[in-house]
Structure 1
């Protein structure tokens, strides 16, 4: 085992020791600071779904108005993408509600 491997192992042991003692290590603090927040990720996903739906509606309105630059295939593809992203978001919401209900039913 090289000196670098020993130093790495020693660092991991110190981190595990600090974690077992209930202390946070600088590496953990930095990792937690860089970790994305669940609420932020959920909001970004909702914004993305909303953006896809508004884009699809705009393209649909342009096609219905007779815009020569609006292509039927592009409109249909964007509508399907918006529909699929919305259905996916509904399924994620259902899983979150199910997980919440399961947590609430746990005996403490």
Structure 2
């Protein structure tokens, strides 16, 4: 089963007030990152479980195993690219002169 691709992230303007505000329905960057890492882990575990089931001869369709493996691969590559861009941005900020 292929899950629907979620809409791209939308960047919001920074808040005028620097105090943390608890508002219903809004998620922070940390929550979004945690959710993304959880999804990454879930796809990796699902791929591993399906591959193991196929290797054990259980009733698993090969195309489902391949789709799960490719989904896990794409998710991992996306996470690595996100990390690379975050490190690059951090290094750029550190090079700035004050």
Cα distance, 1:33 vs. partner?
Answer: 3.1
Equivalent position to 1:102, from 84, 92, 95: 92
Which structure 2 segments of 5+ residues have no match? 1-15
- The yes-or-no answer on 1:83 pairing with 2:73 is yes
Q: Please, which moves more after superposition, 36-45 or 84-93?
A: 36-45
Instruction: Work out the CA distance in 2 between the residues paired with 1:105 and 1:38.
Output: 24
Normalised by the length of structure 1, the TM-score is: 0.68
Which structure 1 segments of 5+ residues have no match? 1-18
Q: Of Structure 1 and Structure 2, which has the larger fraction of its residues in helix?
A: 1
Cα distance, 1:40 vs. partner?
Answer: 1.5
Partner of 1:5: none
Partner of 2:52: 61
Higher RCO (CA-CA < 8 Å; seq separation 6+):
2
Instruction: Work out the CA distance in 2 between the residues paired with 1:100 and 1:39.
Output: 17
Larger Rg: 1
> How many residues are paired up?
81
Please give the root-mean-square deviation of Cα atoms over the aligned residues, in Å. Answer: 2.0
